[in-house]
Structure 1
Amino acid sequence: MYETIIILPIILLIFLIGFIHYICLNAPSSAYPSLNPTAETNRIWNIERRNGFVISFEIWTSTLNELPKTILNKSNINVKKARGLKLIYNFGIGLCLLGLLSSIIGSTWFTWIVWKDVWNEIELHTLQKVNSDSTISIPTIDSQIVKRALSDNISSNDDITSNSLGAMTWNSAGGLQPLIPGLTMPWTHLPTLILALVVNQLIHEFGHAISAALDDVQPCRFSISLHAVLPSMMVSFPSSIDTLDPNAKMRLATSGPFHNLITWFVVWLITFSGVGNLLWYDRSKEGRVVQDVHWNSPLYPHLLPGTLITHLDDISLVAPTSNAATDTWTEFLSSGKMIDQSRGWCMDKNVFLSQPDPFVQGIGDNENELLGSILNNNDKGDCKTNETSKIIFESKYGITKGISKCLYPNPILNIKSTKCPCPDSKWVCIRPSPKENILRITTRVEDGNWNIQGKDHDKVIFYTGPKEEILRDVRIDIKSARYWKNGIRWFVLFFNYTSTISLSLFLFNLLPLPLTDGSQLLNSLLQWQSTVRPKSIESVALKGRINNKNDMNGSSANIKLYREYEIDSDEEDDQDEEERYIGTNPSSRLNERFMEEGRSSRKKKSWKRWLRRSIQWYTMLIVGLWSLGWGMLFLLRSS
């Protein structure tokens, strides 16, 4: 399973990169010639390195500039169809406006949740400190008693139990989690995550390019950036997009997130349409099939997806109906009841009595004998050391009742328990001590994976810990893959990451942050009017920036035709107002009227500018607090 999760996405990612390169080789030439005579225009891919606080690389190409228009032409998109596509993208504007509002509200809510979890972690660390300082015990066994005293104290409080050290996992923290390999997701999922991210970003940028082509705007270049270890993609457009009306600008800004939303909806539709049921079959008459295990659970390397679970202790998960078996799984793991204490395992009495007694780590044998009477009624000691994994077994009947010995759980617990007492006095009925908190999980090994004879057989997994953690960390179902089980389960994993990333890109890109679509959408929204007066193309000059500073090598001037957006950059608004009234005569009534309208327009732009800045700075503050909160959670939980 793990080989498929790692190798298959890497192969598909290499194939995708090769396919993009093949398109670049066969793409039509760009209509925009390079304005830098020193540039190597024959290269398909160009690499730029940017040195700063974080070293980043950018790989870009201009060979795909004609691709969006070529796709529209080959799809026979005429004027009528183009108008229909624009209506669809206009509908996307409304959805993205709701997404912008939802992303701001959601980021505020998740920031509150993550800081609430930070406060709970601080309280938990404080409680641990108080209990460790206030516990009174024999100094030589302090480390053992404190650990149990803390867990006993915590278990008495229902609210703290859910956040105890033993039950704390990343899937219950911070509300919205960042996908960080090794912390919130397993490293084995990294290739699948990268593949899903690349596919979703290609869909995102394709939306921008197609929307621009509908307004006869051709991209300047397509670039792939790598900031530290985070990949990103971007389609750059010429400054001619400034001549578009605000509605077209909003359509251009929202087309990328709109495509991500469509991707999420398609994945959701495929998931809940039942089409995938053809690849699965029912196994409710055999037990329960593991679908997923939380990567931070100790059961993760033992319960692979597709594993069939037949028993929990001696309770069978096989039932005539699927709902009954599901209730058995849930009721047994969620209840605090112990299994039938009248059952056990029969063992030779002499062999049992010859086994070592439980001991307390850190003290000698003589002190263990002295503490035996103290621990007899309160704590049976421990059997686990670095050299052995023995556990405490207790005798349940006869003259040996209550005697505890250290035994290996395997192979005693590999067989089904029997009714006590044993039929012969030479035997003693034993079972694990309740303090060991052991649960036997019986699984069915299939296809000869661990069996040389190629026959199915049972395998028992011993789990020590709260049963509620299994219910939380292990997700089961009644269906198993029909063909190529590992491949089908990888595709399920890929669809899950695709759904998560597509929705995340939709919401994150709509946050009004610098260099995001949400910032451009907000700016265009504040410029929007019910009746838009189109600007003359001839009146808008191409704003190129010429750098005439020659360096030591005598490089020539560099002209930048790309539109550069910066937060709180309002020089263009003021410059447009100044250019509007150049050459007017203030003594004229008509010009005075124009001047009055200009002052009113500047006041209107002033409050819009203030509103835009306030929203942007508030969003940056919230995102910064959310990131800081997760950083503190990482530090607190790593300690």
Structure 2
Amino acid sequence: MTIGASLSLLLPSAFVKLSSPSLASLSPPARLRIIASGAFHNLLMWVVLVLLISSPIGKLGWRLLGYADVGAYGRVVTGFDDDSDLQGYLPFGSLITKLDDISLNSTTDVWTRHLTQSTQSTAAAPGWCIGQDSYLSAPSTCCSSSSHDTPPSSFACFSSRCLDPLSVMNRGHARCISLSDCASEQVCVMLDERESLLRITFLPEPRDRNSKSQVVVWRGPRIEVYEQVRVGTMLPGTFTPLWLPDLTGVFFEYLATIALSLYFFNLLPLPYLDGVQLLDALLDYISAATSGPSARYSLSPDIELDAIEAGSSERMTGRSWSTRTRSRWKERLTWTLRVYTIVMSVTYIVLGMVEWIIRR
């Protein structure tokens, strides 16, 4: 028997190997336990990694390194995609506290829910109080139905008027539900529900108590913000790097994915994988359970030596004939499952390559 462990590119692995004669001499249950030990190691490793990622144990480790968990208050900006237009407006390490009028100070994942939901409605959202003269002097061309089919301009439609969204949303104007909420010579303007605008409120220096909130207005599908902006819940200290929790989390997620993939992959009845021996032991176990462990070839006492040498089976007992039949069916079933798995694996690989070529 050979037992070993290895560490390849920070990926731990372990193995147990028995010689073929020793393994074949064991009972089917014992063979199943030994053969499945490799897949069990992959599954156990996946469970441990998931617990480290999602349990308070991992967050406790980051606190010991000087990080603060701000998941209940907002999301820390940790990075952007290379083609993201938000790179120059959301500073690295800033704390996003609100999306539109929805605060991230919640026990639920407001960030994911608000940015990924398919429909967005601004009909029930409060408006802004602006000067009546500014409102009446603004054009209304961008509010026509045909203008929404053209490339957007720097204006947005507010209550049938074209106004600059930055001057309306980011100038400290009072919020309103109706005209009665505004002062004299002011009007309450509401954002047209057809406009795809998102207000992102953030603290540029979250560790500075004097830091004031700022607002970035994003125009476009909100799912792009979710896909292009990388956020986390661990706020770094003075001497701790911002990128470390994000990089570590991605590494452990990939490691957990690899462990779970290897668990299923090793169970496939393909050549040189544990699934072939596992299938053989499983069929032996089922056969032993249905016929009993004493089912062997047995010859009747009066069979002649010439008949044995000639391979005659006319005087074999019914049990020995049944055993031979089960052996043939076992070989056929094993061969069928192996061929089916190989064909399906090759098909999925080819289809995956075709899809990759089409997307390019």
1:489 is paired with a residue whose SS is helix
For residues 47 and 216 of structure 2, what CA distance do their matches in structure 1 show? 40
For residues 276 and 242 of structure 1, what CA distance do their matches in structure 2 show? 45
- Is 1:265 the counterpart of 2:51 in the alignment? no
- Is 1:340 the counterpart of 2:104 in the alignment? no
For residues 356 and 150 of structure 2, what CA distance do their matches in structure 1 show? 33
**Shift in CA distance, 350/525, structure 1 to aligned 2, threshold 3 Å:** closer
> Is the 8 Å Cα contact of residues 345 and 412 (structure 1) preserved in structure 2?
yes
Q: Deviations over 1:371-416 (max 9, x none)?
A: xxxx84x33456747xxx513344x4xxxxx3436x4x44653334
Q: How does 1:315-354 map to 2 (within 5 A)?
A: 315-318=102-105, 322-323=106-107, 336-340=121-125, 342-346=127-131, 349=134, 353=138
| Residue 279 of structure 2: aligned partner | 522
Q: Which amino acid aligns with 2:345?
A: V
Q: Which amino acid aligns with 1:523?
A: D
| Residue 505 of structure 1: aligned partner | 262
* Aligned counterpart in structure 1 of residue 203 of structure 2, from 440, 444, 451: 444
**Shift in CA distance, 331/523, structure 1 to aligned 2, threshold 3 Å:** closer
> Is the 8 Å Cα contact of residues 392 and 436 (structure 1) preserved in structure 2?
yes
- Is 1:605 the counterpart of 2:308 in the alignment? no
Q: Deviations over 1:187-220 (max 9, x none)?
A: xxxxxxxxx98544x50xx31xxx12xx4x5xxx
- Is 1:379 the counterpart of 2:142 in the alignment? no
Q: Give percent identity, aligned residues only.
A: 25
For residues 501 and 303 of structure 1, what CA distance do their matches in structure 2 show? 33
> Is the 8 Å Cα contact of residues 104 and 110 (structure 2) preserved in structure 1?
no
For residues 615 and 517 of structure 1, what CA distance do their matches in structure 2 show? 14
**Shift in CA distance, 473/447, structure 1 to aligned 2, threshold 3 Å:** closer
For residues 356 and 632 of structure 1, what CA distance do their matches in structure 2 show? 49
1:510 positional shift? 0.8
- Is 1:619 the counterpart of 2:341 in the alignment? yes
- Structure 2 residue runs of 5 or longer lacking an equivalent are 295-302
> Is the 8 Å Cα contact of residues 254 and 517 (structure 1) preserved in structure 2?
yes
TM-score normalised to the size of structure 2? Answer: 0.64
* Aligned counterpart in structure 2 of residue 495 of structure 1, from 252, 258, 268: 252
Q: Deviations over 1:91-140 (max 9, x none)?
A: xxxxxxxxxxxxxxxxxxxxxxxxxxxxxxxxxxxxxxxxxxxxxxxxxx
| Residue 404 of structure 1: aligned partner | 162
For residues 249 and 480 of structure 1, what CA distance do their matches in structure 2 show? 50
* Aligned counterpart in structure 2 of residue 418 of structure 1, from 150, 167, 174: 174
| Residue 288 of structure 1: aligned partner | 74
Q: Which amino acid aligns with 1:413?
A: M
**Shift in CA distance, 527/246, structure 1 to aligned 2, threshold 3 Å:** farther
Q: Deviations over 1:534-579 (max 9, x none)?
A: xxxxxxxxxxxxxxxxxxxxxxxxxxxxxxxxxxxxxxxxxxxxxx
> Is the 8 Å Cα contact of residues 511 and 518 (structure 1) preserved in structure 2?
yes
* Aligned counterpart in structure 2 of residue 310 of structure 1, from 84, 97, 100: 97
Q: How does 1:31-46 map to 2 (within 5 A)?
A: none
**Shift in CA distance, 513/612, structure 1 to aligned 2, threshold 3 Å:** same
1:608 is paired with a residue whose SS is helix
TM-score normalised to the size of structure 1? Answer: 0.40
**Shift in CA distance, 423/458, structure 1 to aligned 2, threshold 3 Å:** same
For residues 173 and 54 of structure 2, what CA distance do their matches in structure 1 show? 42
For residues 478 and 443 of structure 1, what CA distance do their matches in structure 2 show? 14
The number of residue pairs the alignment matches comes to 325
Q: Which amino acid aligns with 2:146?
A: D
- Is 1:435 the counterpart of 2:220 in the alignment? no
1:514 is paired with a residue whose SS is coil
> Is the 8 Å Cα contact of residues 246 and 524 (structure 1) preserved in structure 2?
no
Q: Which amino acid aligns with 2:40?
A: F
2:194 is paired with a residue whose SS is helix
> Is the 8 Å Cα contact of residues 344 and 429 (structure 1) preserved in structure 2?
yes
**Shift in CA distance, 346/242, structure 1 to aligned 2, threshold 3 Å:** farther
Q: Which amino acid aligns with 2:155?
A: I
For residues 479 and 424 of structure 1, what CA distance do their matches in structure 2 show? 46
Q: Which amino acid aligns with 1:623?
A: S
> Is the 8 Å Cα contact of residues 49 and 256 (structure 2) preserved in structure 1?
yes
1:268 is paired with a residue whose SS is helix
> Is the 8 Å Cα contact of residues 245 and 532 (structure 1) preserved in structure 2?
no
> Is the 8 Å Cα contact of residues 268 and 276 (structure 2) preserved in structure 1?
yes
| Residue 59 of structure 2: aligned partner | 277
> Is the 8 Å Cα contact of residues 513 and 620 (structure 1) preserved in structure 2?
yes
For residues 275 and 592 of structure 1, what CA distance do their matches in structure 2 show? 70
1:610 positional shift? 0.8
1:440 positional shift? 0.5
Q: How does 1:59-74 map to 2 (within 5 A)?
A: none
1:390 is paired with a residue whose SS is coil
For residues 294 and 614 of structure 1, what CA distance do their matches in structure 2 show? 49
Q: Which has the higher helix share?
A: 1
1:620 positional shift? 3.1
- Aligned CA-pair RMSD: 5.2
